[in-house]
Amino acid sequence: MMGAAGEVWWAGARDGLVSASCRVRNWATIAHLGASLGPRRLRVALRKHPWLRKLLLVNRLQDRLTQSRCGAYRQANAILVSSIADTLREMLEGVFLHPDLTVVHEDLVPPELLFGMGLRPWMAELLGIVLPMLDPRACEPYIDRAEIEGIPSDLCSLPKATLGIVLQGQMPAPRAVVSSNMPCDGGMAQYTIWERKLKAPLFQLDVPYDFYDERAVEYFAGELRRLVAWLQEHTPGRMDWDRLREVCDERNRAVEAQIELWDMLRVRPAPMAAEPIYLANMVYVVARPGMRRSTEVMRSMARLARENLEQGKGALPVEKHRVALWNPPTMMFLDLFAWAERTWGVSLLMDMITFHRHPFIDTRSEDTMLRDLARIVMQGPMARHTRGPADNFFRDLFHLVDHFGLDMIWMAANVGCKNTQALMGMLREKCRTQGVPLLVIDYDLLDARVESQEGIRSQVDRFMQTVMRQERLS
């Protein structure tokens, strides 16, 4: 029998081993990318796309997300970072080796359709999301470039940074660009510049304003059909409905694992938290749905949560508070929750981008697939929240408070998001009426010059000390 000290030693050794093996995997991923491109193409790629160098920081990201975590929670984070690195490698190989098949799509255009057509989707906003994860200041030069070119400084920094990369000539050239009229003016406005700068044909989906009825579903499914026809005209992609069915079935399997994970999160203490919930969703349900790897990652997250649950363990050593994060997560401070966990015992269980109500796609026919994809986009996160009546923004939030037994809401109040800033007064009033403490974090999504990580920590500290009347754990 192993004594208590032995168990602690073994747990520590296992945690160390997990980190070490993922670190090796990450280096192997980088080496794999280099080998696939070959020395000449790699040299050209590094010169034309200097942001590629940021990939070398992947192990630093892994450390930030794993070092303060232990056991299954640490393992989930390590697996997640390694998987994201490898997914990124696959996507980059696609962009550099098969530019003819690469289609840039906005994050609210269903990539399942592109996979079904044998195309290689590249989510337009991906770099703006991934780069600050690796280096919190990585997007600043691109934001500046966009502003110098006349993009208004009060625009959301995600489209600004993305545009900056395009204007800097550092965005890989795609065969075509597909966007929609969502989620905001800033996002929408950037695509005309994309079209001009990259000289790629552009298609924009029209999402109806009022989307909770069958007429809207019918209309938007028609838009998706129009998109397929347009892509067939402008790219070598051809729709293979059986392939689309496989993609949708695979997505269903990943979401099944996700829902199992969500069910487990209702338990106190929650067996999983933060990145394995929201980051896994962002990459494997939003950006890369329908891939086998997506299902594997989501299943791993659920399996590791189950492991904790069966042992009666929480993800955090001390879960004092359960929180939902509203608005997109703080990408320039990705380890906010790693810090908040050890400082205040705050467990992040759900967020605006992750929570959805239309999990599965009916794959019986072309029509059912298109209609469900239409529902997923129109009534999904971000789209629903930034369009239609204000109630769309609040309904899910207060449902989550009850469903997951949350004791506070953190609002990541990105200064560049006019849509949600306009709702802030109503949110404050609703939280006041319902007696739910609300922390509004004033910051910029990608630009630490607006509010530093230290400033964000101070905002959290002040709230936890004064409103929640808590003392620091560490």
What residues make contact with other proteins under the rule CB under 8 A?
A: 424-425, 428-429, 432, 438, 462, 465-467, 469
Q: Of 412 and 438, which has the nearer Cβ to other proteins?
A: 438
- Sign for the pseudo-dihedral over CA of 88, 79, 249, 33: positive
Q: Of 171 and 439, which has the nearer Cβ to other proteins?
A: 439
CA distance 163 to 125: 9
278: closest CA among 108, 15, 80, 416? 80
Burial profile 185-213: b = 16 or more Cβ within 10 angstroms, e = fewer = ebbbebbebbbeebebbbbbbebbeebee
Strands 176-180, 202-205: pairing is parallel
CB of 472 to other proteins, least distance (A): 12
Q: Of 311 and 465, which has the nearer Cβ to other proteins?
A: 465
399 to each of 119, 390, 405, how far by Cα in Å? 38, 15, 10
CB of 154 to other proteins, least distance (A): 14
Q: Of 203 and 443, which has the nearer Cβ to other proteins?
A: 443
CB of 316 to other proteins, least distance (A): 24
Q: How many CB atoms lie within 10 A of CB 317?
A: 16
Q: Of 278 and 393, which has the nearer Cβ to other proteins?
A: 393
Q: Please, is 398 exposed, middle or buried when counting C-beta atoms within 10 Å of its C-beta (0-12, 13-18, 19+)?
A: middle
CB of 429 to other proteins, least distance (A): 7
CB of 437 to other proteins, least distance (A): 8
Q: Of 168 and 453, which has the nearer Cβ to other proteins?
A: 453
Q: Which two tokens stand for residue 38?
A: 């070959």
CB of 467 to other proteins, least distance (A): 5
CB of 134 to other proteins, least distance (A): 28
Q: Of 168 and 452, which has the nearer Cβ to other proteins?
A: 452
Using an 8 Å Cβ cutoff, are 371 and 217 in contact?
Answer: yes
Q: Of 3 and 425, which has the nearer Cβ to other proteins?
A: 425
43 to each of 34, 46, 49, 472, how far by Cα in Å? 9, 5, 10, 49
Q: Of 370 and 439, which has the nearer Cβ to other proteins?
A: 439
Q: Of 189 and 424, which has the nearer Cβ to other proteins?
A: 424
CB of 416 to other proteins, least distance (A): 16
CB of 431 to other proteins, least distance (A): 8
CB of 438 to other proteins, least distance (A): 7
CA distance 114 to 236: 11
Using an 8 Å Cβ cutoff, are 172 and 99 in contact?
Answer: yes
